[in-house]
Structure formats: C-alpha cells, structure tokens
Chain A
C-alpha cells in the first residue's frame, strides 16, 4: 500500500487547509504512515463483487413540501461572525483589482 513522503504530507495539509509547523509535519509523516500500514489489511479481502454501503438504514429519499418556513433571522445568523459590516461578513478580498 502507498506510503506518504514528507512532501505528500505537506500537500495533503494544503488540500485540507491546515497550516502545520515543521515539527507537526514530521510527526504526522510517521503517524500517518503507521496508520496506512493498518489499512493494508483491507487488501486481504476480495471485494470485487461487493456493493459499497454509504448508510445503513435504507431510507428512501425524504421529501417535504416546497414551502417557505421561518429561518434564522439575519441578526442571529451573523451574531458569531468574527467581523461584519451591516448585513455582511467581512473577509479579505478574494479577487484582485476593482
């Protein structure tokens, strides 16, 4: 089974949007590879003809009437925002220019 290089650990951390220190990356490289070794056990099983299980209770699609119902008021929805202006949450610009 695959092993993770230090660069790959750093790449996965980037994909996960986790800012990790050099010490954390080093520790994770060892720990993740140790865990991946445990995953190798699954290769013992022939699952070619087995369907995957995503959930267990076999509910059909749950539908409701398409009607508007009261939802969280703006004031309450924004109450936890670290930074807001009026009815908006403030974030750094994600596009350059005007």
Chain B
C-alpha cells in the first residue's frame, strides 16, 4: 500500500473495496499530512481529529457490513464513503467553529449543520477540518484572512489564490483528496487554477447554501475541489440538489452521470470529438501574462486536435463585468454583513450606548477588505446613488447574461477560456492596490453574474507555476463540463507536467520553514 494521501478519492474508494485500506488509516494519514504541512501553508484553521476518527470508524463499520453481505452491497456503496474531505471555514458544523476568516466570528459555535455538512455525513465522507479563506470570502489571494495568509505549495512565497485558498492548498498539497469551497466571483476556480487542481462553480441554485456564511446572495455558490474531474463530479453529486431550507436551491434533477465519469482515457478523449467550443476573444485580457496565454492556447489546440470544433466567439460586455460585479457584490455584502452587530453572537465591544457598541464592534471585528466592500456597498445603495450604481449594474448584468445566452443559442456546447489572467503572485504584490487585486477575477466573475457553471482544470505550467483552463456552460450543464474536463485529462495523461508534484511540497513539511505570517511580516505587507 502506497501513501494513501497521494491517491485520488476514487482510488481510495477502490482500496476500501478491496479491503487493503481502512478509512481510519486514510483519515489518520490525512490528519498527519495536514498537521505536518500546516506550519508552512496555514491552509487549515481547525482540524478535529477526534470527530474525524469517529466518522472514519463509522465508515469502516459500513464497509465491513457491506463486505459481509456480498459484492452487490460493496458495489452499492457511495464513492465518498470513508474519504477525507475539508470544508472551507464558512460551512457550519454543529458545535464547531465557523469563522469565515474573520475576527468578528471568533469564538462563535455553529448551532446547526449546513446542508452540505448533512449531505457529506449522509454519504459517509469524513470531515477532517476547516480551511483558511479570505475574510467573508472577499479576496483573490487568501491574504485577507484574519488568521494569516495561506501559502501556495508550488512556491511558499506566493499566494494560493482565493478566497477558498485553504481548501485549494490542502488538496494540492496532498492533505486531502477533496474539499468544499464557495465561489462568488471566482473563489473556487481561481485558487484551483493557481494551485494546479480541479475546482468547479456549479450553476446558481445547484447546491443549497443553508448553513453557509453569506457574502453576496445572488452570486454565491458552493462547489468542489479535487485533483481530477471524476472526484470533483462525485463530490458535486453528493452535495447538489433541492433543499427547501434554501429557496434559491432549484428543483432540477442532479444527473447520476456525475457518479460515473468514465475511467477510460480512450472513451473520455473520444467524447471530445465534434464538441463545439467557443473561444471568447475578450477573455485574453490586456495585461494577461504571456506564459498563461500560451498554455491556454496550447490546451485549446490539443482539444481541437482531438476533434473538438473550436470557434472564436464574442462576449462583448466582458469588459464591463468587473465594474458591475464590484457594485452588485459589495451592495449585497453590505446588507448581509449588517447582522454582525455583537448582540446575538460574536465578540462584542462595549463602548457606551448601543450605537457606540455597533461602531466599536464592527470597527474592531472586520478587516480592511471587508470594510472597503461594506463602504462601497453602502454607498452604492444609499439614497441618490441607488439608480446610478446598483440598478445600472443590474442592467449591465442583463447584458452580460445576454452575451452568454447568444453563445448557447448559436449551438455551442461550452466556452473554453483562461481561468485567471496570470499565475500565482507573490505575497503582498497586490495588497495595496484593490483594483489590481480585483482584476484577478476578470475571467471568472462574468460567470457568476450570469449564474452559469464553470470548471477550472490544470493545463500545464508557466514559469514553473500552474495555469488553469476554464470550461463554462449553459445552466445545469455541469456533467457536460466535467466530461470535457475528463476528456482533456485523458489527452494530457502522459504530459510531463502531470507527473510533477508541487515544487515546494517537500519544503512545506520542513518544521524550520517560516510560516506565511512570518513571511509576510518580513515582507512588510500586512496592514
């Protein structure tokens, strides 16, 4: 038995079924990897060994019972049974911490399980712990966490992307094969791209957000991180579907095909033949790094060589996406974050009358980026500016959605595009310039504005750092997108870069290496 942390979830599941690996062993290995790597990476905000091992033992009991009843019972087991998984620290686990990366939720204990937590428990997945994130999911680097930044296992001096940077780093660094993130403007796909893994933002309404800390409610969506398309599909299947406690979760059937993405490379590659893919010219944005563009164009060439029909398309309002998003998202955030008042939960500053308490609690509890967005949103919604900003942005949103609708109406199966304009950047590089930081999301946030599914998959390295390829589809086409992703994986199965592990993975296990907090303190980048 090789080191189980190097296996994908479906490989772990296969070992469970042959009986040469137990969930307790796989979970123990995951916890040890997470604990060893966390000094250098700061990917985890909490690890609950006791609970995880109890869940692992329960999974092992189910595995043993299935083995005792025969092959049919073993075959019917869920592929995630007993598999270690990480949750972004904005997913509620009853009785557990849920900081959303913020001081204002320090000490808060979730009073109930999120829908996602319940579903993972139901299929028997093992929740190892909670991962680091930009505060309230606002950011593209995980540098905005109140608990220090997360490092990228490809280069410990660089960010893993964000906001779900902890989940991405934990999967990329082989702590766990699977993790849950959320994506409001790219917060799953961009960190997946920057750490060289698979990350999917499903269609708005695909996964119930009950028990998730809200950022921008018309944009937020929950999705999977994994090291391959098959695993991402299985995790999405486990958590997707209608839940009456989130009225925005849609009564749309979840395709069982997500559990059965083909394992055959030949079959997966053959599936690309005749697929019509649109290549949006506006996504090769000004300021895009040449290495990233070259990798993405090479990947598109490989898809074409495999029989996909690639045609340039235009999404003419792309350039307006950033400005419209940075009105809509902060406006919704300013409303959602009004609840953090120090009265019902969270730290409370006492400073006189109730108004003074609000000012003190919120002034001390929120970090710089969150304050910036609350200010932007409050301004955009204030009397006299509502039409000029918020309504205008919502109208532009209609135009952005219309751009995509025209592509689907023209018969395209999907759009293929870069995920991010560049590779992982150094700590501090964009911390003093919010607009430069926001540009990271230029290729991902239009997808949230239009409510569409999108997946980022690794497509090689530029300057030794991972580059992401993004597939975007019409609503509810997650299965088709993951089949395209699986097809591209098959084409590049033997590519040299696929065999490489993250450059600083070994270094991340060195107990003498500086923590990300120490690194950024030296660089003088923390406000």
Which residues on A are within 8 Å of B, measured CB to CB?
1-2, 4, 9, 12-13, 15-21, 24, 28, 31-32, 34-35, 38-39, 41-42, 44-45, 47, 50-57, 59, 62, 64, 72, 76-77, 79-83, 89, 91-94
Chain B 336-363: CB-based contact to A (< 8 A → 1; otherwise 0): 0010011111111000111111111011
In the complex, are the beta carbons of A57 and B112 less than 8 A apart?
no
In the complex, are the beta carbons of B375 and A34 less than 8 A apart?
no
In the complex, are the beta carbons of B347 and A82 less than 8 A apart?
yes
Of B248, B375, B395, the residue contacting A32 (CB under 8 A) is B375
Q: Is B67 an interface residue when CB atoms closer than 8 A count as contact?
A: no
Across-interface contacts of B378 in A (CB, < 8 A): 12, 15-16
Of A35, A47, A57, A59, the residue contacting B376 (CB under 8 A) is A35
Of A24, A34, A59, A93, the residue contacting B435 (CB under 8 A) is A34
Residue of A18, A44, A54 contacting most chain B CB atoms (<10 Å): A18
In the complex, are the beta carbons of A17 and B362 less than 8 A apart?
yes
Across-interface contacts of A93 in B (CB, < 8 A): 353-354
What is the distance, in angstroms, from B252's C-beta to the closest C-beta of chain A?
9
Query: Residue on B with the closest CB to A49?
Result: B395
What is the distance, in angstroms, from B123's C-beta to the closest C-beta of chain A?
24
Across-interface contacts of A42 in B (CB, < 8 A): 320, 323-324, 327, 392-393, 396
Cα A51 to Cα B402 with chains together (Å): 11
Cα A57 to Cα B353 with chains together (Å): 44
Q: Is B379 an interface residue when CB atoms closer than 8 A count as contact?
A: yes
What is the distance, in angstroms, from A73's C-beta to the closest C-beta of chain B?
9
Across-interface contacts of B401 in A (CB, < 8 A): 53, 56
Cα A39 to Cα B248 with chains together (Å): 29
A–B Cβ pairs within 8 angstroms, 29 of them: A9-B375, A13-B375, A16-B378, A18-B359, A18-B375, A19-B363, A19-B364, A21-B363, A31-B372, A31-B434, A32-B376, A35-B326, A38-B322, A38-B323, A38-B435, A50-B395, A52-B397, A56-B475, A57-B248, A76-B111, A80-B111, A80-B345, A81-B344, A81-B345, A82-B346, A82-B347, A82-B348, A92-B353, A93-B353
Which residues on B are within 8 Å of A, measured CB to CB?
108-109, 111-112, 203-205, 218, 244, 247-248, 250, 317, 319-320, 322-324, 326-327, 334, 338, 341-348, 352-360, 362-364, 366, 368, 371-372, 374-376, 378-379, 382, 385, 388-389, 391-399, 401, 434-435, 449-452, 475
Cα A59 to Cα B250 with chains together (Å): 7
What is the distance, in angstroms, from B448's C-beta to the closest C-beta of chain A?
9
In the complex, are the beta carbons of B203 and A57 less than 8 A apart?
yes
Across-interface contacts of A79 in B (CB, < 8 A): 109, 111
Query: Residue on B with the closest CB to A28?
Result: B375
In the complex, are the beta carbons of A47 and B396 less than 8 A apart?
yes
In the complex, are the beta carbons of B354 and A45 less than 8 A apart?
no
In the complex, are the beta carbons of B359 and A17 less than 8 A apart?
yes
Cα A20 to Cα B244 with chains together (Å): 40
**10 nearest interchain CB pairs?**
A56-B451, A19-B363, A19-B359, A80-B345, A52-B394, A82-B348, A47-B395, A16-B378, A17-B358, A62-B247
Cα A44 to Cα B323 with chains together (Å): 12
Across-interface contacts of B205 in A (CB, < 8 A): 57, 59
Main secondary structure of the interface of B (DSSP, over half): helix
What is the distance, in angstroms, from B341's C-beta to the closest C-beta of chain A?
8
Main secondary structure of the interface of A (DSSP, over half): loop
Across-interface contacts of B379 in A (CB, < 8 A): 4, 12, 32
Of B324, B357, B362, B375, the residue contacting A92 (CB under 8 A) is B357
Q: Knowing that A2-B385, A57-B250, A57-B475 are A-B contacts, what are 11 other residue pairs whose CB atoms are under 8 Å apart, sorted by A's residue number?
A: A16-B375, A17-B362, A18-B366, A18-B371, A19-B356, A32-B375, A35-B435, A45-B399, A53-B398, A54-B394, A72-B112
Across-interface contacts of A64 in B (CB, < 8 A): 244
Across-interface contacts of A2 in B (CB, < 8 A): 385, 388
> A92 and B354 in contact (CB under 8 A), knowing A41-B323, A56-B401?
yes
Across-interface contacts of A53 in B (CB, < 8 A): 394-395, 397-398, 401
Cα A58 to Cα B172 with chains together (Å): 36
What is the distance, in angstroms, from A91's C-beta to the closest C-beta of chain B?
6
Across-interface contacts of A81 in B (CB, < 8 A): 343-345
Cα A29 to Cα B320 with chains together (Å): 23
What is the distance, in angstroms, from B299's C-beta to the closest C-beta of chain A?
28
Across-interface contacts of A35 in B (CB, < 8 A): 326, 376, 434-435
In the complex, are the beta carbons of B353 and A50 less than 8 A apart?
no
In the complex, are the beta carbons of A57 and B204 less than 8 A apart?
yes
In the complex, are the beta carbons of A39 and B389 less than 8 A apart?
yes
Across-interface contacts of B320 in A (CB, < 8 A): 41-42, 44-45
Query: Residue on B with the closest CB to A43?
Result: B392
